[in-house]
Amino acid sequence: MKIRCCLTLLIFVATCLPVDGPAWAGDTKNERPRSLTELSIEQLMEIDVPTVYGACKFEQKVTDAPASVSVIAADEIKKYGHRTLADVLRSVRGLYVTYDRNYHFLGVRGLNRPGDYNSRVLLLLDGHRLNDNIYETAAVGTEFPLDVDLIDRIEIIRGPSSSLYGASAFLGVINVITRQGKDMKSAEVAGSAGSQDAYSGRLSYGNKYPNGLEMLISGSLYNSGGARGLYFSEFDTPATNNGLADRADDDKSHSFFSKFAFRDLTLTGAYISREKGIPTGSFGTVFNDNRNRTTDAHGYADLKYDHKLENQAELTGRVYYDNYSYRGDYMYYGANPGDPPVRNKDFSDGEWAGGELMYTGRFLEKHLFTAGTEVRYNFRQGQGTYDESPFLSKLDDRRSSHIYALYLQDEYHLLSNLIFNIGVRYDNYSSFGGTTNPRLALIYKPWEKTILKLLYGDAFRAPNVYEQYYADNGVTAKPNPDLRPEKIRTYELVYEQYLGEHFRSSLSGFYYRIDDLITQQTDTDGLLIYRNVGNIEARGMEVEIEGKWTDGLQGRASYVLQETKDQETGNELTNSPRHLVKLNLSAPLIRKTVFAGAEIQYTSSRKTLAGGDEGGFVTANLTLFSQNLLQGLEFSASVYNLLDRKYGDPGSGEHLQDIIGQDGRAFRLKFVYRF
């Protein structure tokens, strides 16, 4: 019944939304059709198709990409009041976000495993890999190194992409494209203030000079006091402040981003340091002690060479250097009642460098061929933990490794309306050896604006050094150096339809199977350990319709039905919602000046580690956004969780809580001023 109602709603939106824009300028009667049923065949052919880079490592229309792709533009981020990358991804079809009040974890097509730090999604920033070499984390929360104001667009590429990118491109790839200095042409200052004593500031400058040099430099600050008086029933005793964590949820960061481009060269650098209080008493720490906190820092420099050759060929190369560090302070109860807490210091340090060389060119007219090689050296992959006083070392693990890879891809135009895309990549790890992963796609366009895609792909995820080697001398965790890579095989059928200038619809069905899934478990001795356990099967369908008009009216609605099960037990996975419904609508209140943006998101119930269920919930966000009321000024006012819905996310193995409560209603005011 729920599925039928959601599909009916989507059909109603598709047929009843008003149609507006320049397509009607030639109508001599000055009358505009009010729905798709009134459009002529000629008008149905006038749609502007967006492009994507990350699907094949070259710019192409999304209709030609061998994947199901979503592209989120900068104006949507502004009009819906998104504060972080996690906010943006939460609004995208088939994605959902879990927050344990320290990090944000991304779920894709029903998979969001406890103890996984987003290692099954590859995160790119202008093509630079952001996943670190300790946890393979895709940082999407306040630890993401780029202010969302600097985003030009975000590409979400669903399905396995190890044929191009290797490990972590397991469930999908997210490629964040930054703004150009030439588009800014000035200095910008931005600031915001909101609930939980949250404040942010940004100062940016961008320009392109007559000699061809283009630059963008930006620095950002963020500080939040966090939620006050968070209540956790599991700690509801007088000795633990009756379950209230007060002033223990703070969050602060500072970041820097720069990009310089001259002719064929682009030099990019980014750095972020983020410190977060931990209010949940995770890993058995002292509850309601604001000394429990983590600090993550990540910086990189990337030099890219992109040269156009004859006959539409292109040679691309890049070299890069990354540095990552994590520091954790954890307060543990003393050995005897009345003893003062013991401060445990937890740390990891990663350092790596690499390079990539890629050639793309046409041959025999119908083939667009790509060949590339990549190498990455992990100079340092260090982890450690020790008690500060009295000093007791519990882990001091130092490693290094290297990876090299070769990949090939061919986009073969069998007919003018039929494309066959084939790709394969071989990766060799010094730690476990080689793996080969293919991707196949058949893309058929029976009519100009109708696209059918039949997709197949294999991918792998190598166990990271945290999963293999982390231990703390029998306090919370122990290692498992015998972990094997996990493998996924995915089949997908996609139907896309473009209608007129304004509408696009998508319907897809998918099936995937994961073998040797790496999962965090609690062993018989009560310690956390990662193991290759069982095989996973998932199937689902996704339907979406979106529309855009030149006066600023835009919207999209989607429904996802998915089922993810353990093959051996037949049980549904934890933290895997069966239904996801999302509606985004932005409408101009004053033409091209003031807009109202609304989001409604429904997530169905999810199973928890303790065998319970966290019920389904609906959240709604509302933003008023204005531009050019005063020259150069943008202003927005946002309300998040408008209805003050009480809900929670399933906890992981390190939490005593089965369900972790999320924020209620919150506010934010923001301005951007261009000089």
* pLDDT single digits (tens) 150-181: 999 999 999 999 999 999 999 999 999 999 99
The reported pLDDT for the residue numbered 47 is 55
The per-residue pLDDT for range 417-430, each reduced to its tens digit, is: 999 999 999 999 99
Q: What is the mean pLDDT of the chain?
A: 91
| CA–CA dist 158, 161 (Å, integer) | 8
Query: Exposure pattern of 224-246 as b/e (b: 16+ CB <10 Å)?
Result: bbbbeebebebbeeeebbebbbe
Instruction: Classify residue 172 as left (phi > 0), alpha (psi -120 to 50) or beta.
Output: left
The reported pLDDT for the residue numbered 636 is 97
Nearest to 467 by CA among 529, 375, 560: 529
The CA-atom distances, in angstroms, between 539 and each of 2, 212, 560, 572 are 18, 50, 11, 12
The per-residue pLDDT for range 216-262, each reduced to its tens digit, is: 999 999 999 999 889 999 999 999 999 999 999 999 999 999 999 99
| CA–CA dist 596, 79 (Å, integer) | 7
The per-residue pLDDT for range 185-211, each reduced to its tens digit, is: 889 999 999 999 999 999 999 999 999
Number of domains in the chain: 1
The per-residue pLDDT for range 341-376, each reduced to its tens digit, is: 999 999 999 999 999 999 999 988 899 999 999 999
Token pair 């008009």: residue: 549
Q: Reply yes or no on whether the pLDDT at 595 is more than 60.
A: yes
Is the Cβ–Cβ distance between 501 and 46 less than 8 Å?
yes
Name residue 509's beta-bridge partners: 493, 541
Mean pLDDT of 111-136: 96
Nearest to 655 by CA among 321, 213, 287, 153: 287
Half-sphere exposure of 227 toward its Cβ, with a 13 Å CA cutoff? Answer: 19
CA gyration radius, the chain:
25
The reported pLDDT for the residue numbered 35 is 38
Residue 196 belongs to domain with CATH number: 2.40.170.20
**Helix/strand/coil for 20:** coil
Q: What percent of the chain is modeled with pLDDT above 90?
A: 85
Half-sphere exposure of 478 toward its Cβ, with a 13 Å CA cutoff? Answer: 12
pTM above 0.75, yes or no: yes
Give Dmax over CA atoms of the chain in angstroms: 88
Provide CB contacts within 8 A for 593, sequence distance 6+.
626, 627, 628, 629
The per-residue pLDDT for range 460-498, each reduced to its tens digit, is: 999 999 999 999 988 899 999 999 999 999 999 999 998
Domain of 364, in residue numbers: 2-674
With cut-offs at 50, 70 and 90, classify the pLDDT of residue 25: very low
With cut-offs at 50, 70 and 90, classify the pLDDT of residue 70: very high
Q: Reply yes or no on whether the pLDDT at 48 is more than 90.
A: no
Nearest to 469 by CA among 477, 461, 460: 477
Mean pLDDT of 522-539: 93
With cut-offs at 50, 70 and 90, classify the pLDDT of residue 295: very high
